[in-house]
Structure formats: structure tokens, C-alpha cells
């Protein structure tokens, strides 16, 4: 399968602190890959390296064979790698339509003044309607983002990222703060939307092991800045010691 995103011997240091050490990760097309690990394992640092927010101390981060170290999320999104960015937390007063439109406008490189005439811009309006329908938000277009349920807010966050037409999308805890009953519904919607929108791969940073088990083709486990395991779910969950290390529980002596 085509390699979309990879790290080669990546390490990241903050002074004397070594947050990541010799990380080699490959993300291929047609995969849902979960990144898991206890607090302090290096997940956030890895995500920030993969999305161009950080430059590695040593090693390379490549997307479609080209280095993306430190280029930033905007330029990276233009190339086709997007991280859900939770616009609703930044602009809660925007409606669902306006929130999705913000991403569409960015993708089409139109000016922000288009908000004044959204109804007259058929191209933007059509794309907003399409994305909203995919995520089950078509009936909520006029609603302020702040008034949505927590589950709807999560879907809107990710819908905004999908509106950028990514090849690969990184979802950081997409169901955090959502009731257990809603989590699987949100994940099913996200996976189905990804296929429908032509997204080639999903990287999921998630602590809920039920979701990891249900939706991953591969699991990358980090511990103390290193890759502890890179396995399919059936092999990962067959190793109790590995699960214990990832969840962060310590054995009693």
C-alpha cells in the first residue's frame, strides 16, 4: 500500500528532556491507525511533529515523500494532511454553516468577506451543504455552534477538517467529553464519512481502548518516548502486559 506519512529516526528534545527517541512510524493508505499510550508517553509531541507544528531535533517527518517538519498546519492542510482543529472553541458564535464554510473558504483560498454573502456563493454553499449532510448536520446549519450537543460539536469539529479535502486526517481524542452511548455512533459516522469523502487514511489518538479495538487496523503504542509496539488489534490485545503498559496501570507487589 502507498506510504502517506512517515517518520524516520525522529527524536525530539526540550533541553535535557528527551520527549521522543528514534521514532519510526509509517502510515499507509486505507488504514485507521490508533496512537495510544499513558500520559507522558510522547503522544502529543508525536502529533505535533506529524502535523508540522514542531521540527524534530533529529530525523525526518515525510508526507507524500516530502519533508513537512515545522511547516505548520495551514501549509500542511493545503498539501492534504489535516488535523481536527476545533473551530467551535475559537468561534462558538458562528453557526454550523459558517463554521464549515470557514474551512471551505480556506480550502478555496477565498477572502473572509465571503461570510457577508454566503447565500450568494453557490460553490461554497453547495460544498457546505454536502459536508453537513455527510455528518448528519444538515438540519442544524442555522444553529449557533455553541448550542449544539457535545456529540454534535464533535462532529462539527471533524466536519470542518473534512471540508479541507484531506488525503489523511489526524483525529485527537474525537470523542472526549462525549457520553459512552454516543461514542460508537460518532466513530461510525467518522469512518463512513472518511470513505465517502475520499480520505485515504485516519490517524486516531485515543485513550478509549474499546474504540481502539473496534476501529483500528493497526495500533502504535508509545511509552516513555519510544515505540513500544506497532501491531494489528488482535495481536495487541492478546498481550496483557502490553495493555497494562499502555493504560498506565502498575502491578502491585
Lowest mean pLDDT among 7-16, 57-66, 105-114, 126-135: 105-114
Assign 83 a pLDDT band (cuts: 50, 70, 90): confident
Q: Which domain holds residue 9?
A: 1-80+203-253
CB 152 within 8 A of CB 99: no
Give the list of residues 6+ apart from residue 144 with CB closer than 8 angstroms, or none: 92, 93, 94, 95
pLDDT digits (tens, 9 = 90+) for 105-139: 876 654 445 454 555 577 888 889 999 999 999 99
**Would 87 be classed as within a structural domain?**
no
Nearest to 20 by CA among 220, 224, 242: 224
Residue 51 is assigned to a structural domain of this protein: yes
Q: Does residue 136 form part of some domain?
A: no
Does residue 108 fall inside a structural domain? no
Residue 88 pLDDT > 80: no
The secondary element (H helix, E strand) that includes residue 104 is helix 96-108
The answer to whether position 92 is within a domain reads no
Q: Report how far residue 66's alpha carbon sits from residue 52's, in angstroms, rounded to the nearest whole number.
A: 12
- For residue 149, being part of any structural domain is answered with no
Cα angle vertex 64, ends 225, 199, to 5°?
90
User: How far apart are alpha carbons 42 and 229 in whole angstroms?
Assistant: 14
Position 119 scores a pLDDT of: 53
Please calculate the CA angle 211-217-221 and round it to the nearest 5 degrees.
70
| Total domain count, the chain | 1
Residue 62 inside a domain? The answer is: yes
Could you tell me the CATH number of the domain that includes residue 207? 3.40.50.300
**Using one digit for the tens of pLDDT, what is the confidence trace for 127-184?**
899 999 999 999 999 999 999 988 898 899 888 888 888 999 999 888 888 888 889 9
Please indicate, yes or no, if residue 50 is contained in any of the structural domains: yes
* Grid cell digits, residue 98: 459558517
Largest CA distance in the chain: 69
Do 244 and 252 touch, CB atoms closer than 8 A?
no
Amino acid at each position: 500500500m502507498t506510504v502517506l506519512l512517515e517518520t524516520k529516526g525522529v527524536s525530539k528534545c526540550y533541553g535535557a528532556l528527551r520527549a521522543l527517541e528514534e521514532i519510526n512510524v509509517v502510515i499507509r493508505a486505507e488504514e485507521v491507525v490508533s496512537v495510544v499510550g499513558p500520559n507522558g508517553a510522547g503522544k502529543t509531541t508525536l502529533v505535533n511533529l506529524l502535523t508540522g507544528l514542531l521540527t524534530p531535533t533529529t530525523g525526518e517527518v515525510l508526507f507524500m515523500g516530502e519533508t513537512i517538519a515545522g511547516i505548520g498546519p495551514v501549509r500542511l492542510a493545503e498539501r492534504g494532511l489535516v488535523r481536527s482543529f476545533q473551530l467551535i472553541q475559537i468561534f462558538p458564535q458562528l453557526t454550523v454553516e459558517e463554521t464549515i464554510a470557514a474551512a471551505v473558504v480556506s480550502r478555496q483560498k477565498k477572502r473572509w468577506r465571503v461570510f457577508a454573502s454566503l447565500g450568494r456563493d453557490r460553490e461554497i454553499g453547495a460544498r457546505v451543504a454536502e459536508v453537513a449532510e455527510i455528518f448528519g448536520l444538515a438540519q442544524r446549519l442555522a444553529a449557533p455552534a455553541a448550542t449544539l450537543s457535545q456529540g454534535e460539536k464533535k462532529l462539527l469539529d471533524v466536519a470542518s477538517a473534512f471540508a479541507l479535502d484531506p488525503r489523511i486526517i489526524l483525529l485527537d481524542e474525537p470523542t472526549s467529553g462525549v457520553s459512552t452511548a454516543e461514542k460508537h455512533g460518532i466513530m461510525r459516522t467518522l469512518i463512513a464519512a472518511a470513505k465517502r469523502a475520499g480520505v485515504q487514511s485516519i490517524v486516531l489518538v485515543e485513550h478509549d481502548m474499546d474504540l481502539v479495538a473496534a476501529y483500528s487496523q493497526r495500533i502504535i503504542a508509545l511509552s516513555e518516548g519510544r515505540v513500544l509496539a506497532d501491531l494489528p488489534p488482535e495481536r495487541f490485545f492478546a498481550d496483557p502486559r502490553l495493555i497494562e503498559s499502555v493504560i498506565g496501570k502498575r502491578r502491585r507487589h
